[in-house]
Chains A and B, each alone.
Chain A
Amino acid sequence: MNISKLLTGAALALGLATSAIAQDTTKVGFIYVGPVGDGGWTYEHNKGRLAVEEQFGDAVETVFQESVPEGADAERAITQMALQGADLIFTTSFGYMDATINVASKFPDVKFEHATGYKTADNVATYSARFYEGRAIQGHIAGKMTKSNVIGYIASYPIPEVIRGINSAFIHARKVNPDVEFKIIWAYTWFDPAKEADAATALIEQGADVILQHTDSTAPQAAAQKAGNVVTFGQASDMGQYAPFPRVSSIIDDWAPYYIARTQAVMDGTWETTQTWDGIGPGMVGIGEISDAVPADVKAEALAMKDAIAAGEYSPFTGPLKKQDGSDWLATGEVADDGTLLGMNFYVEGLTGEIPQ
């Protein structure tokens, strides 16, 4: 980023001739919530950025800023990127939603793309992946693998995306193992390795032998490895360095095709506000290799479920399902609509505890 800043400065200093050339390149900016080396969420977004560079070569220039806090500082960071002349800015965390909308209203000529949010504008599109499809497969494996019947879940913030993941994993763990119980810790952070490791350790000490995480670093994997007999899943990235055990599978976000397509749209002048929400089928969500630590029959079932979801034959939220308070949600065979899923703010029946408000 610093080098690109220097280059921008140099281009300005060299005068009009240089800037005339610079106008031909499309500048794409990325705002990250963690460091690019987190090994998870931000790492995958940065891989998408590098794919854009590779695809378009000199026709694009990419810039990024990492470890931008969600909150007031995000608005400053996004504004600065827009002022630097970015044509397209991807803001890659839920907490940037309002900041993105605010900045977008001041820069009508710049296109903005906000990940995992739900607010759009003429120049703001949203995109997200159906991570909950991967969670269903994780839940299935977790329910089969647990011996203590206690599954620990490190949640980040109480937003619909995270709640969907908990529900999806729980439904499928219960389906194969009626005795299974979820212990949930809200870490209130996306990235804090020490806290994530502490949370994993607390869950393990309370009997969990499977840890699911919705935070960005690989710290829970390391904590599970230290504890020994605990199963984990890679989150957002493959986290393959912890395979074959404790990491037995993973959900992988693949943003590269989307980033390339949207950059192309800006170049062609065909960019429009859209709300993209793709899953396993279109390839935005990948399932990392299921390791040999998982019994062959469980692996086969998990892969069958993956194929069914990819083909659109099965939805993780298919009735009969009840809400936590016992009220009916979905009748037998009924599939949840996207509106309900996008705003999900309730647990399904069987989960204990309350969602923080």
Chain B
Amino acid sequence: MDLSSISPTLLLASLMVASTPILLAALGELVVERAGVLNLGVEGMMITGAICGFAMAVNTGSPLVGFVAAAAGGAVLSLLFALLTQYALANQVASGLALTLFGLGLSALLGQSYVGIKPPPVSKLDIPVLSDLPFFGPVLFSHDLMVYLGLALVAAVWAMLKYTRAGLILRAVGENHDAAHALGYKVVRVRVLAILFGGACAGLGGAYLSLIRVPQWTEGMTAGAGWIALALVVFASWKAGRVLLGAYLFGGVTVLQLNLQAAGVALPVEYLSMSPYLITILVLVIMSADRARAPASLGRTFHASN
């Protein structure tokens, strides 16, 4: 065993990269679920964002355009879900699962000519003095902008839900859509906007995989990240801060266990492999002992004439 071969600085830096895709996707889903909609299509929207972002970044040479396209791609796909569930009043679970299957197939089709291509590199933050600081520089001040966007989004979602009128309306719609409707709020409109936001976030998360974390396009490359994000929202009791904690824990333990394996730590590999899931669930379940519960209207169909 040689723990000295693990560099804590590089480990922490890798942790943030590994966590960002599920953080972005889970944040989007959190807003959707707080509005009372259960969208199981996160995986499909992520992979669609991954290929839309990749294709646009390759064609324009600009990762920024890629990320914008990824958000748009995810949002457009989620619009399909919104039409089905909010206007056609289709079952949310079935529509979400269908969205995942559709997204996986669509992305494979779109991505056929992008296999094996290298995306344009994403520039990293480089602040003269700060980025050169020992330890803090690499950990805090030299990531790509998406890492910071993810963190800023956590703060924004938290503040929006807690302190703003828009957040209050969103939560009202999610807790009791009939009451919100009686008060004159446009339940369907609020929900469609939330679904679009969720789709855009999932798309960004997918593009982070294909443009930065891997970086390449491969069919089915999300490989279940969307489902992890979905589970994370539940275990985080629909709270933005806990989603951040959960995502960083999951990403962190994943990276840590790979590093421990490489360093030859004398722990059974089976336990190391299951540790990200186990630790994340344990911590979040213990934290949710305050009896936080799901939005009361979660997954229920709303029809104005009821």
Contacts and interface: CB of A to CB of B under 8 A. Distances in A.
Contacts of A353: 264
Interface string A180-203: 000111101101111101110111
A273 B239 CA distance: 58
Interface stretch (A91-99, A217-225, A312-320): A217-225
Interface string A335-357: 00000000000000000111011
Given A205-B10, A206-B259, A218-B116, A188 B216 contact: no
A207 interface: yes
Interface centre among B11, B112, B258, B263 (most CB of A within 10 A): B258
B215 interface: yes
B268 A356 contact: yes
Contact of A186 (B7, B263, B273): B273
Contact of A218 (B209, B218, B261, B264): B218
Interface stretch (A13-21, A30-38, A274-282, A295-303): A30-38
B262 A152 contact: yes
B63 to A, nearest CB: 13
**Max chain B CB contacts within 10 Å: which of A192, A239, A357?**
A192
A152 B112 CA distance: 30
Nearest to A158: B269
Interface residues of B, number: 41
B5 A38 contact: no
B118 interface: yes
Contacts of B170: none
B262 A186 contact: no
B264 A352 contact: yes
B214 A202 contact: no
A288 interface: no
Which residue of A39, A205, A225 has the most chain B CB atoms within 10 A of its CB atom? A205
Nearest to B114: A37
A198 B268 contact: no
Interface string B252-268: 00110011011110101
A22 to B, nearest CB: 26
A217 B108 CA distance: 15
B221 interface: yes
A241 interface: yes
A85 B208 CA distance: 43
Among B111, B255, B264, B266, chain A packs the most CB atoms within 10 A around the CB of: B264
B5 A206 contact: yes
Interface in B130-157: none
Contacts of A184: 261-262
Interface string B203-227: 0000001000111101111111100
Nearest to B209: A194
Contacts, number: 118
B266 to A, nearest CB: 8
A344 B129 CA distance: 54
B54 to A, nearest CB: 12
Given A186-B261, A194-B209, A205-B10, A219 B112 contact: no
A208 B258 CA distance: 14
B221 A198 contact: no
Given A225-B118, A356-B270, A203 B219 contact: no
B273 A188 contact: yes
Given A183-B264, A194-B21, A241-B116, A218 B216 contact: yes
A281 B274 CA distance: 41
Given A219-B216, A222-B215, A222-B216, A194 B262 contact: no
A239 B115 CA distance: 10
B57 to A, nearest CB: 14
A226 interface: yes
B139 to A, nearest CB: 14
Given A197-B214, A219-B214, A222-B214, A202 B220 contact: no
B275 to A, nearest CB: 12
Contact of A198 (B18, B117, B264): B18
B6 A193 contact: no
A157 B155 CA distance: 40
B62 interface: no
B176 interface: no
A111 to B, nearest CB: 29
A100 B52 CA distance: 38
B288 interface: no
B126 to A, nearest CB: 17
Interface in B1-46: 5-7, 10-11, 14, 18, 21
Interface of A: 34-39, 67, 152, 158, 183-186, 188-189, 191-195, 197-199, 201-203, 205-208, 217-219, 221-223, 225-226, 239, 241-242, 352-354, 356-357
Question: Which 10 A-B residue pairs are closest in the complex by CB-CB distance?
Answer: A241-B116, A37-B219, A35-B219, A356-B269, A222-B216, A192-B223, A202-B258, A35-B220, A193-B221, A206-B5
Given A67-B220, A205-B14, A206-B5, 16 more contacts: A35-B218, A37-B220, A38-B220, A158-B269, A193-B216, A194-B214, A194-B221, A198-B255, A202-B259, A205-B7, A205-B10, A205-B11, A222-B216, A226-B215, A239-B116, A241-B117
6 contacts: A35-B218, A37-B218, A158-B269, A184-B262, A191-B223, A222-B216
